[in-house]
Chain A
Amino acid sequence: MATTESRPIDGHGTSTSIVGVFAHVDTTVRALEDLRAKGYHDLTVYTPVPVHEIEDVLERDRPVSPVRLFTLLGGLTGTVSGFLLTIWSSLQWSLVVGGKPVASIPPYVVIAFELTILFGGVATLIGMVTLGRLPRFRHTAAYDPRFSNDRFGVAVHCAPDRSASVRQILQTAGADEIKAAS
């Protein structure tokens, strides 16, 4: 909580974070709309739960999260390795039964299916953890314990000379509390 590292932004010097604490969704959305209209795009929004109204504003100009790519690649890897494992081992250690094929594909579909799900799930987990940059051993400066309870936080990362204007926007939107995080 007490870390006071400043984050360099776009190569022009240090920046500061101004955090607005909100009690309501509509005021948070208003603050986000105002900030974006004024050209502040380096925002971090803390919410106790995912909220549609807030996501609608934030996701407007963002691509879909690439987690699904991890799932796809993991799943395909699982399918391939399921068939490789079964076919390779039945060729290596053959159980020859009455002229039937040594590598019999239909029963191997079960193994391939299970490994598709397993690898797909593990890859999704890896995707989620890497893209969400977890685990984090230290809280970001803007975090407040109330954000896991019933408060919404908007952290604006800006150059120190813009902080007054940011505070003004957050205030007008209806923030309960405004503080500098760094």
Chain B
Amino acid sequence: MAVTEQPASPPTFSDVNRVVLASLRTPGTLYSAWMCVIGLLLAAFLTAWTYQIYIGMGAAGKRAPQMWAMYITTFVFWIGIGHAGTLISAILYLFRARWRTSIYRAAEAMTIFAVLTAGLFPLIHAGRMWFAYFLLPYPNQRYLWPNFRSPLVWDVFAISTYLSISTIFFIVGLVPDIAALRDASTGWRRRIYGMLSLGWEGSDDQWRPYRRAYGLFAALATPLVLSVHSVVSWDFAMALVPGWHSTLFAPFFVDGAIFSGFAMVLVLIIPMRHFFGLHAYLTERHLDAMAKLILTTGLVLTYFYVCEIFTAWYSGDVFEKASLFWKVTRSYAWALWTMYFCNCIAPLILFWKPARTSVPILYAVSILVLIGMWFERFNIIVPGLAHDFYPYTWGIYVPTPTDSMIVIGSFSFFFLLFLGFIRVMPSLSIVEVKETLPPPMKERHGHH
């Protein structure tokens, strides 16, 4: 997976600064057009949410037993998206995979924005979101009975920790880069970047604790990222619903999260590479490496699907078997087969080397993977709840315009944050990209 070869004539340190600064120029009409689309979708999102608050949760198609439906589907989807960012920024950092340097800033930004987007859904789903503070366990004047045995409470802790640590990691990585922006800008921008850079100078007494701390953040984030999606999966696996109650869920969710996260990274960096002219930094080898990761995690996911089906059959449990049979053949079968196609069949084209470096194919596969992974969560939640133990608890969920608009609007919220970010902050890590370049030497002798 390591990208060892250097490009023909490697860029110099000042080239890196120049390219990154160029990405912060006033954007063109295409960017503004996208922002307008996003703004409109966001307005529709807020309208739908307001309508739901006014009418009640019935407006979102929620009725027993389908109380989770698309909101929790989309919540899990966005949390999952975040995972690839931490994988790239922390795990691949610890493995010293050098190809990560040019994508990690964008991926880390994606993580934070995805988790923020996911964070909207518990609030939206809570209905009366002004009581959201009930989720905070203490102090207990409200006579709540905090139940730390509940996976939903673990979830609150896991996701708030994940958001906090990812944000710290991200901001710490940005500090030296903002210092470079500060030194290259003038006027009010210089003042703002100056404040944000904390007066960073790159002196040896700053780099020393910085480097240590960075490694420690990576070491902390690595078990964290594995734990977060495991905890999210336990929201399901701890319940007794057929198809949910499985020890398979934690690795199954973590793998799926990385799979969809890498697809989202590709969806974000391929246009960035094109519009910012980053071809020297995001080379075909980067695309190839990410395609291989998508392929690998996709194959692992296929294995998990097979396990899931095998377990249901081999358990001999009548409810497990009935639930599986219903999923594969009845009301939501189309969703299940869409998922199998997008997650198991579509990535197989990446076995073919030219496909791994072809931008249109990669883009198409990534989008299919995102669709497939959204449906995966849908297929766990909706058909799972639709057909459990007793016929009197069975029930179909049909999306309404309100919750569909909120789900679509969450994408606009995410893209608003991401597109806003790449306008004002370096979307390529100045420091880390320079670190992978050969350091400037007066006399050419072998460097490490």
State in angstroms the CA–CA spacing of A107 and B209 once bound together.
35
In chain A, positions 58-115 with a C-beta closer than 8 Å to chain B are 58-59, 62, 64-65, 67-68, 71, 75, 85-86, 89-90, 92-93, 95, 104, 107-108, 110-111, 113-115
Q: Is A16 at the interface (CB under 8 A from chain B)?
A: no
Max chain B CB contacts within 10 Å: which of A52, A53, A54, A71?
A71
In chain B, positions 427-448 with a C-beta closer than 8 Å to chain A are 431-432, 434-435, 439-443, 445, 447-448
Do A125 and B213 contact each other (CB < 8 Å), given the known contacts A48-B431, A111-B148, A145-B183? yes
CB distance from A49 to the nearest CB of B (A): 4
Do A104 and B149 contact each other (CB < 8 Å), given the known contacts A46-B202, A50-B211? yes
CB distance from B137 to the nearest CB of A (A): 7
State in angstroms the CA–CA spacing of A68 and B203 once bound together.
20
A53 CB contacts on chain B under 8 angstroms: 439, 447
Q: Is A178 at the interface (CB under 8 A from chain B)?
A: no
State in angstroms the CA–CA spacing of A126 and B73 once bound together.
37
CB distance from B112 to the nearest CB of A (A): 14
State in angstroms the CA–CA spacing of A54 and B441 once bound together.
12
CB distance from A84 to the nearest CB of B (A): 12
What 0/1 pattern do residues 84 to 123 of B give for CB contact below 8 A with A? Answer: 0000000000000000000000000000000000000000
B362 CB contacts on chain A under 8 angstroms: none
Contact present for B138 and A89 (CB under 8 Å): yes
Contact present for B439 and A132 (CB under 8 Å): no
Contact present for A117 and B17 (CB under 8 Å): no
Size class of the contact patch on chain B:
35 or more
What 0/1 pattern do residues 113 to 157 of A give for CB contact below 8 A with B? Answer: 111011011101101110111111111100101111110000000
Contact present for B172 and A110 (CB under 8 Å): no
Contact present for B165 and A128 (CB under 8 Å): no
Contact present for A149 and B138 (CB under 8 Å): no
State in angstroms the CA–CA spacing of A23 and B199 once bound together.
23
A140 CB contacts on chain B under 8 angstroms: 201, 203
Instruction: In the complex, identify which listed stretch (B62-70, B139-147, B258-266, B281-289) lies at the interface while the others stay far away.
Output: B139-147
Do A121 and B158 contact each other (CB < 8 Å), given the known contacts A134-B198, A143-B201? no
Do A44 and B213 contact each other (CB < 8 Å), given the known contacts A93-B145, A174-B442? no
State in angstroms the CA–CA spacing of A83 and B158 once bound together.
15
Contact present for A26 and B209 (CB under 8 Å): no
State in angstroms the CA–CA spacing of A124 and B394 once bound together.
50
A139 CB contacts on chain B under 8 angstroms: 199, 201
Contact present for B440 and A23 (CB under 8 Å): yes
Q: Is B180 at the interface (CB under 8 A from chain A)?
A: yes
Contact present for A150 and B12 (CB under 8 Å): yes
Q: Is A24 at the interface (CB under 8 A from chain B)?
A: yes
A interface, by DSSP: helix, strand, loop or mixed? helix
Q: Is A27 at the interface (CB under 8 A from chain B)?
A: yes
What residue of chain A has the Cβ atom nearest to residue B231's Cβ? A110
State in angstroms the CA–CA spacing of A135 and B175 once bound together.
11
State in angstroms the CA–CA spacing of A138 and B198 once bound together.
10
Q: Is B184 at the interface (CB under 8 A from chain A)?
A: yes
A50 CB contacts on chain B under 8 angstroms: 207, 210-211, 435
Contact present for B227 and A114 (CB under 8 Å): yes
State in angstroms the CA–CA spacing of A139 and B179 once bound together.
11
CB distance from A18 to the nearest CB of B (A): 15
Q: Is B5 at the interface (CB under 8 A from chain A)?
A: no
A52 CB contacts on chain B under 8 angstroms: 448
CB distance from B195 to the nearest CB of A (A): 8
Instruction: In the complex, identify which listed stretch (B215-223, B297-305, B349-357, B370-378) lies at the interface while the others stay far away.
Output: B215-223
B201 CB contacts on chain A under 8 angstroms: 46, 136, 139-140, 143, 147
B435 CB contacts on chain A under 8 angstroms: 49-50
A159 CB contacts on chain B under 8 angstroms: none
Contact present for A95 and B216 (CB under 8 Å): no
Max chain A CB contacts within 10 Å: which of B12, B165, B203?
B203
Q: Is A51 at the interface (CB under 8 A from chain B)?
A: yes
Q: Is A47 at the interface (CB under 8 A from chain B)?
A: yes
Candidates A93, A110, A146, A174; contact of B146 at CB < 8 Å: A93
Candidates A23, A54, A134, A145; contact of B206 at CB < 8 Å: A134
Could you list some 6 contacts between A and B, CB below 8 A?
Answer: A23-B442, A50-B207, A50-B211, A124-B213, A127-B209, A150-B440
Q: Which 7 A-B pairs have the closest CB atoms?
A: A136-B199, A150-B13, A145-B183, A128-B213, A135-B198, A131-B209, A24-B442
Beyond the given pairs A49-B202, A148-B200, 14 more chain A to chain B contacts, judged by CB atoms under 8 angstroms and listed by A's residue number, are A44-B203, A46-B201, A49-B431, A49-B435, A85-B137, A121-B221, A125-B168, A127-B209, A128-B209, A128-B212, A135-B198, A137-B199, A148-B17, A149-B184
Binding site for A on B (CB under 8 A): 12-14, 17, 137-138, 140, 144-149, 153-154, 157-158, 160-161, 164-165, 168-169, 172, 175-176, 179-180, 182-184, 198-213, 216-217, 220-221, 223-224, 227, 231, 431-432, 434-435, 439-443, 445, 447-448
